[in-house]
Amino acid sequence: MLKADCARCFGLCCVALPFAASADFAVDKAAGEPCGNLLADFRCGIHADLRGRGFSGCTVFDCFGAGQKVSQETFAGRDWRQQSLAQQMFTVFPVMRQLHELLWYLDAALGMPAARPVHGDLRRMLEETERLTEGGPEAVAGVDVAKVRDDANVLLTRASEMARAGRRGRDLRGADLVGAELKGADLRGACLRGACLIAADLRRADLRAADLIGADLRNADLAGADLRGSLFVTRSQLSAARGDAETRVPEGLERPGHWL
């Protein structure tokens, strides 16, 4: 399962990961230190008002189901409050989260009819990656995630190229587009892989069939933008951006509740 189920997780993202006081978090917290808002039953004490209380970063984070996998399977229901498990659990969680994110992308690529020529390779890569998530704590912690990511990226790139064939637009992969004025821009089929679009003005931009894998959309203005058919768009990316009632999102993704 590649969707977070917080009810089956031991609040791992609220403990294992660090955060710094900023526009995304109201306070500093070190890795391995429980967030002050975490309750004894692993629920968040301010979940209903995270943005209002200065914790918008929490609303953007997505573990892709890694939290419950580590909690219920890797550690068989034992939680980090057992001191002998804490450090190992906190080491395993970020690795599992990266593997689950790759699984999400591979699954998304398998849903692209135009990428059918590489579906066999994608399915094998997905199965191999899934096997890595099923090992014990030491095995998962020892996974060479960089290599797995590189191998997967070759296939994801090919899938993207096939899906955008005939309508491939501008190549803006890794571009620094912080605060860029892209209002009404025609970005159909563009490659925006890893592009930094923080606070970019994308109002009414046409992003249909654009590849947005790894693009940073924090505080980007997507009011009226068209993202139908955009490739590899995650819930986190949409949650980090700003949109409105006229923003059209990819099929299968919900419009974030904080959008106007």
Mean pLDDT per 10-residue interval, the chain, length 260 residues: 94 96 95 96 95 94 97 97 95 98 98 97 98 98 98 98 90 97 97 98 98 98 97 97 97 90
pTM recorded for the entire structure: 0.95
Residue 46 region by backbone torsions, left for phi larger than 0, else alpha for psi between -120 and 50, else beta: alpha
What pLDDT was estimated at residue 55? 95
Secondary structure of residue 149 in the 3-state scheme: helix
Give the Å distances, CA to CA, from 249 to 108, 190, 223, 230, 235: 15, 16, 11, 8, 10
What pLDDT was estimated at residue 130? 98
What pLDDT was estimated at residue 105? 98
Inter-residue contact 171 to 191 (CB < 8 Å): yes
What pLDDT was estimated at residue 134? 98
What pLDDT was estimated at residue 260? 76
What pLDDT was estimated at residue 61? 95
Q: What is the C-alpha to C-alpha distance for residues 10 and 79, in angstroms, rounded to an integer? A: 6
Chain centroid to CA 52? 22
- Write down all domains in the chain, each with its CATH number in brackets: 6-163 (no CATH), 167-260 (2.160.20.80)
